[in-house]
Amino acid sequence: MASIPPGADLSQIPAGMPPPGVVPNLVNGYSRGPVFLVFGPIITFFMLCFLTARVYAKFRVMKQAMPDDYACAVASVLTIGYFAIAILALKGNTFGKHIWDVPLSAISTDEFLKISYLSNWFPNLVWLAVKVTFYLLYLQIFRPNKNLVKFIWAGIIVTSLFYVSITIPQLYWASPRPGQSWLDPLEDGSTIKTQALALPIAGFNLGSDIYIFVLPLWGVRNLHMSKKKKLGVVLMFATGFSAVVTSLVALIYKVQVVRDSADYTWTGFPVLITNYTEMVVGISASCMPACSATLRAHSEFFHDLGSRISRLTRSSGSGRSAGTHGNGEGAANGRPYVNIESTARTRYATKRMPSDQTSDDLELRELQGVSANNSTHDDSDLLANRIHVTSEIHQHSERL
């Protein structure tokens, strides 16, 4: 900017040189910014849904919050903070455009420079909080596995040391010295030095996400549970693989930024999106165990809902033919008439547990012989029954 003559109108000067044959458009140049303005709120909404399910599970189902929940709360607040930074960056009509379509006046304001300053180091705090959330969750689940606990603590220590050690030089290089303006670190080249840290950070993000993804797979192998339950736990933790994918995509885009740093307002925009996506996916994946607990706690409700929908669907299809298959009063009323009386001895039958017991206590209980009397009944009463048939079943114990 030293070569710009004094008194020049910076709003009429492109912030960068265009390629040969390209004419700068400082008035209404194409911007990819609206993509984030649509995509960002959508994924934020889903993240908040998972967070709501987590809060419900912890305070209504489990009635206890653990350290990983507090770490997740910190990570969520920081993620929303980064979302606000991204919105402010797009508000300035700079990020998402080619640098030659951005006027020099737009990137020389204190507002733009402060946002650029925050976007350099603020994501490190978010990633640290998100990854620590996973590690604390693993400590809670796999605490009996002493060997695995050692690797979890190693992950916490290495992750914390890395992000702290990488943030310190970023703050040192990008922060203005006493008496300097926000533009001075950019003009003397100090801010450019922070770009050299972009690839190491992206590489560590990918490596740590892979590490976090593999740890529970190792831990599940030693859990004492059926293969079916192990598969369910593995699938639950497999949602963390999405964080690995987003980290890989972020690394690819950051390589492009390093290769074409002159057009950073254009090449840096995908990094803005992938950074935020990586944060949101990480938080959402960490909520999966709590969401699973919520679903288990209300499995009866979802089972009843599905059964009712299924029964209503079958009823609508069979209602037209009901009158032709019945006789007597039941047929006259448009419902099939069933007249079955039988006595059967069973060894095992499902039994509904009292309301003060959890779903994990539901087992196949041995019962005595039962007598089943089948008679027609009104459809509205049958919807509430656990056994969905077109008649009411009365069971009474009889001695063997």
Residue 181: which region, alpha, beta or left (left: phi > 0; alpha: psi -120 to 50)? beta
Does residue 155 sit within a domain? Answer: yes
User: Which one, of 6, 32, 26, lies nearest residue 14 by Cα?
Assistant: 26
Residues 6+ apart with CB under 8 A from 268: 95, 257
Does residue 320 sit within a domain? Answer: no
If asked whether residues 285 and 336 sit together in one domain, one would say no
Mean pLDDT is highest, among 15-29, 42-56, 92-106, 235-249, for 42-56
pLDDT tens-digit series, residues 121-175: 999 999 999 999 999 999 988 888 888 999 999 999 999 999 999 999 999 998 9
pLDDT tens-digit series, residues 91-102: 877 888 999 999
Domain boundary among 274, 297, 320: 297
If asked whether residues 156 and 261 sit together in one domain, one would say yes
If asked whether residues 82 and 188 sit together in one domain, one would say yes
If asked whether residues 235 and 344 sit together in one domain, one would say no
* 375: confidence class by pLDDT, cuts 50, 70, 90: very low
The pLDDT of residue 280 is 94
Q: Would you tell me how many other CB atoms lie within 10 Å of the CB of residue 273?
A: 21
If asked whether residues 192 and 260 sit together in one domain, one would say yes
Task: Please say if the pLDDT value at position 398 is more than 50.
Answer: no
CATH number for the domain that contains residue 129:
1.20.1070
If asked whether residues 256 and 354 sit together in one domain, one would say no
Does residue 366 sit within a domain? Answer: yes
The pLDDT of residue 231 is 67
Amino acid at 28: N
On whether the CB atoms of residues 173 and 194 are closer than 8 A, the answer is yes
Domain boundary among 297, 317, 347: 297
Does residue 391 sit within a domain? Answer: yes
The pLDDT of residue 3 is 62
Does residue 317 sit within a domain? Answer: no
Least confident among 48-57, 218-227, 283-292: 218-227
If asked whether residues 334 and 281 sit together in one domain, one would say no
**Widest CA span of the chain, in angstroms?**
106
If asked whether residues 73 and 165 sit together in one domain, one would say yes
Does residue 315 sit within a domain? Answer: no
User: Of 371 and 298, which is predicted with more confidence?
Assistant: 298
Does residue 221 sit within a domain? Answer: yes
Q: Which domain, by its residues, includes 232?
A: 10-297
Average pLDDT over residues 69-89: 94
The pLDDT of residue 201 is 94
If asked whether residues 244 and 389 sit together in one domain, one would say no
Number of domains the chain is built from = 2
If asked whether residues 55 and 148 sit together in one domain, one would say yes
If asked whether residues 351 and 259 sit together in one domain, one would say no
Alpha carbon distance 89, 29 (integer Å):
16
Domain boundary among 297, 313, 340: 297
User: Which one, of 87, 97, 96, 88, lies nearest residue 14 by Cα?
Assistant: 97
If asked whether residues 289 and 338 sit together in one domain, one would say no
Average pLDDT over residues 284-301: 73
Does residue 319 sit within a domain? Answer: no
Q: Six-digit token pair at 276?
A: 């935020």
Residue 249: which region, alpha, beta or left (left: phi > 0; alpha: psi -120 to 50)? alpha
